Amino acid sequence: MSASQAAMTASLTDTLCTRCGLCCDGTLLADVELAGHREIVALEALGLEVEEDDGADRALLPLPCRALRGTRCNIYAHRPDCCRTFECRLLQEVGRGRVSIERAQETIADARRRIAHIRGLVAALGGRSAHLPLKERCLEALARSEELHDDLKSRRTREELEAAMTSLDRLIRRAFLGAPYDRRTRALRPLDRMSRLIQIAPPRPSEPRSSRSRSRPAPRSCRASW
């Protein structure tokens, strides 16, 4: 990357990424694969949780990231290599001149409005797991609501949440994750598609996030998160 390209990317990052945060807050991705022992130690020293990936010799930084403050990274200078190299499709398209900055900002604002609406519906269904990626929060709230509440209001809220998730799914795939990932993003592991095929075992109140059972397929390069 030339000096001019690096400067342009930094400018776009400051203009767009600091108003977005979707790759950090559990909306686009479920966790980030860490590069090695040095990265693990550094992040743990900063007070971040690191998980071992079941059945694989690697460590993961779970999302939402605890270093996220609003839409900005609180450890930006010490962020993992994957975070440094990841570029969503929207950022790439702006960098190539195919999407204007103004249009990208509108897309980000639209996504964040939809996410806020979804979070409100999750809360209405009794969902409280703010530490989970957005899709897991939705699926957990739907499952628990179906088990505990069968009244008309709850059913309508579940239907509204499912419709909102589908709508956000389309936006994310089209605007943020539509382009094929390159080798730099292979270590970013998103969740499988939104569907009832994802089986989540809700954690017991005393059970830490890292020890709960989640059925998540092994990554094949980097796949769409929804």
Please say whether the beta carbons of 141 and 125 come within 8 A.
Answer: yes
Closest CA to 9 of 141, 151, 160, 184: 184
Q: Which pLDDT belongs to residue 57? A: 72
Find out whether 15 and 101 touch, Cβ atoms under 8 Å: yes
pLDDT of residue 201: 33
Angle 29-30-34 from CA coordinates, rounded to 5°:
95
Count other C-beta atoms under 10 Å from residue 216's C-beta: 18
The 10s digit of each residue's pLDDT in 24-50 is 999 999 999 999 999 999 999 999 999
Do the beta carbons of residue 43 and residue 72 sit within 8 Å?
A: no
Residues 6+ apart with CB under 8 A from 21: 68, 70, 71, 72
What is the rounded CA–CA span in Å between residue 87 and residue 146? 37
**Phi, psi for residue 187 in degrees, rounded to 5:** -85, -5
Whole-angstrom CA distances from 49 to 5, 60, 90 are: 34, 9, 29
Quick check: 215 and 175 in contact, CB under 8 A? Answer: no
**What's the one-letter identity of residue 29?**
L
Q: What is the mean pLDDT of residues 57-71?
A: 93
Q: What residues does each domain of the chain span?
A: 20-200
Gap between the Cα atoms of 5 and 28, Å rounded: 25
User: Token pair 């998160």 is at which residue?
Assistant: 225
Q: Is the pLDDT of residue 114 over 80?
A: yes
- Tell me the pLDDT band of 187, cut-offs 50, 70 and 90: very low
Instruction: Identify the weakest region by mean pLDDT among 24-28, 154-158, 221-225.
Output: 221-225
Token output for 132: 């989970």
Whole-Å CA distances, 149 to 47, 134, 153, 159, 205: 38, 21, 9, 13, 20
Q: How far apart are the first and last CA of the chain?
A: 31
pLDDT at 195 over 60: no
